[in-house]
Amino acid sequence: MTTAVAVDRRRPPGAPAGRRRRLLVGLVVCLVVLLVVCVVSLMVGSHALAPGAVLDALRHRGDDEASLIVWDKRLPRTAVGVLAGLALGLAGTVMQGLTRNPLADPGLLGINAGAAVAVVVAISAFGVTSVAGYVPFAFVGAALAATVVYGVASAGREGATPTKLALSGAAVTAALTSVVTAVLLTSTPAVSQLRFWQVGALAGRGSEVVAQAVGPIVVGAALALSLGRALDGLALGDDVARALGQRVGRVRVVAGVAVVLLCGTATAAAGPIAFVGLVVPHAARRFVGHDYRWLLAYSAVLAPAFLVACDVVGRVVAYPGELEVGIVTAVVGAPVFIAIVRRGRAVTL
């Protein structure tokens, strides 16, 4: 007599749900960290404020010293840091997924440098003085730089390999940086305007910068966050992605538009800040693995926290003066970049 045994082919109960719950809890913790870092950013500066004074100033805006410092100086500065960090973190994550290259970063692949050259030309040649005027130039510069880097890396039989992308990006970045230096040396008005912007800084950014930057960054972030499943498919290779029904060409176009919007606006608002888009996705990957849906969400929260924290460190280490945030991110990011290369992980994700 044969007894039929029913086999339950369902997923192990609680396994995916448990992982998702842990990732959601981790994301909430990251949001709390971001909130704490922003509060600290409102407290720390040449004139330190107590937490109670900051909260009172936020609740009741007045003409007292604390309210003026918080609302006119530190709140816009912190908001620009959050927006620029969000933009650079998402752009770096998208670029790493799109190129399957863990070294991909807006600062390392020439995109920030392209936007910087365009902004320098806008100021020195056309007399542009506002972020709203910088942004269209930054978009064009970022797009042209990305096209040149990818075109150079695609030459040859192997195509755009991760190593060739990194090398061509470094070469284009060096060339564009020399152009920026040449313009600054021959244009006194540009020097006075770009002295702090060139190294990447959040100081001196007002509420008008926030208002001008928030729209393009929100649109770019929405496009980037919608690419999670597509980037998971591209991580398996273009042929596999097509077999899964993805339109690879369309994904690349949407990703390119998102990266240009994010990098162009962030560079126009805060200057060419490097390594944020490199460090943050690698840190997030330790928590979420290679699932780009979660990786994008974590990067969108961790990158602003990282950039604002670096800005706070810059105010503390050189007190009563300060270091520009671009210098601090370079000090933190350069060793991470060297460690990634030395571990031999620059070929595949």
Query: What pLDDT digit, counting tens, does each position of 123-170 carry?
Result: 888 878 776 777 788 888 888 998 898 888 878 776 666 667 778 888
Query: Any idea what DSSP says for residue 198?
Result: G
SS3 content of the chain, % helix, strand, coil (to 5): 75, 0, 25
Q: Quick one: which of 47, 45, 69, 48 has its CA closest to 58?
A: 69
Structural contact between residues 310 and 296, judged by C-beta atoms closer than 8 angstroms: no
Q: Which helix (H) or strand (E) covers residue 285, if one does?
A: helix 276-288
Q: What letters, b where the CB count within 10 A reaches 16 and e where it falls short, cover 174-209?
A: eebbeebeebbeebeebeebbeebbbbbbbebeeeb
pLDDT above 80 (res 69): yes
Q: Which of 155-159, 270-274, 344-348 has the highest mean pLDDT?
A: 270-274
Predicted confidence at residue 63, as pLDDT, reads: 83
For residues 191 and 184, is the Cβ–Cβ distance under 8 A? yes
Could you give the percent of the chain with pLDDT greater than 70?
88
**For 61, phi and psi rounded to 5 degrees?**
-75, 125
- Going by the DSSP 8-state scheme, the letter that residue 71 receives in this structure is I
What's the pLDDT band for 15 if we cut at 50, 70, 90? low
Multiple choice CATH, 81-342, 1.20.120.1200, 1.10.3470.10, 1.20.1260.10, 3.40.50.720 = 1.10.3470.10
Question: What's the rounded mean pLDDT across residues 230-248?
Answer: 79
| DSSP string covering 94-138 | HHHHHHT-TT--TTTTTHHHHHHHHHHHHHHHH---SHHHHHHHH
What whole-number distance in Å separates Cα of residue 23 and Cα of residue 238? 28
As a whole number of angstroms, the distance between CA 86 and CA 69 comes to: 24
How far apart are the C-alpha atoms of 53 and 58, rounded to whole Å?
9
- pLDDT at residue 222 above 80? yes
- Which whole number is the average pLDDT over 188-215? 76
pLDDT higher for 290 or 132? Answer: 290
Under a CB-based contact definition with an 8 Å cutoff, are residues 184 and 222 in contact? Answer: no
Which of left, alpha, beta for 2 (phi over 0: left; psi -120 to 50: alpha)? Answer: beta
Would the pLDDT of 238 be above 50? yes
292 has pLDDT over 90: yes
Lowest mean pLDDT among 52-56, 138-142, 178-182, 338-342: 338-342
pLDDT at 7 over 70: no
Stretch 304-323: mean pLDDT, rounded?
90
Q: Return the pLDDT at 161.
A: 65
pLDDT of residue 183: 77
Mean pLDDT within 28-50: 93
154-to-19, 161, 236 alpha-carbon distances in Å? 39, 8, 20
Q: How confident is the model at residue 81 (pLDDT cuts 50, 70, 90)?
A: very high
At 156, phi and psi to the nearest 5? 100, 175
For residue 242, the tally of other CB atoms under 10 A from its CB is: 13
Closest CA to 29 of 217, 305, 226: 305
pLDDT at residue 191, as a whole number: 61
Mean pLDDT calculated for residue range 72-90: 95
Q: What is the pLDDT of residue 197?
A: 67
The residue with greater pLDDT, 37 or 289, is: 37
> Which three-class secondary structure state does DSSP give residue 179?
helix
Q: What is the mean pLDDT of residues 332-347?
A: 71
> Is it the case that residue 8 has pLDDT exceeding 50?
no
Angle (deg, nearest 10), helices 75-99 and 276-288: 70
- Cα-Cα-Cα-Cα dihedral sign, residues 205, 211, 213, 218: positive
**Mean residue pLDDT across the chain:** 83
Query: What is the reported pLDDT for 349?
Result: 44
Q: Is the pLDDT of residue 293 over 60?
A: yes
pLDDT at 164: 77
CA angle 341, 102, 277 (to 5 degrees): 105
Terminus-to-terminus CA distance in the chain, angstroms? 53
pLDDT computed for residue 5 by the predictor: 44
pTM: 0.85
Q: Are the beta carbons of 33 and 305 closer than 8 angstroms? A: yes
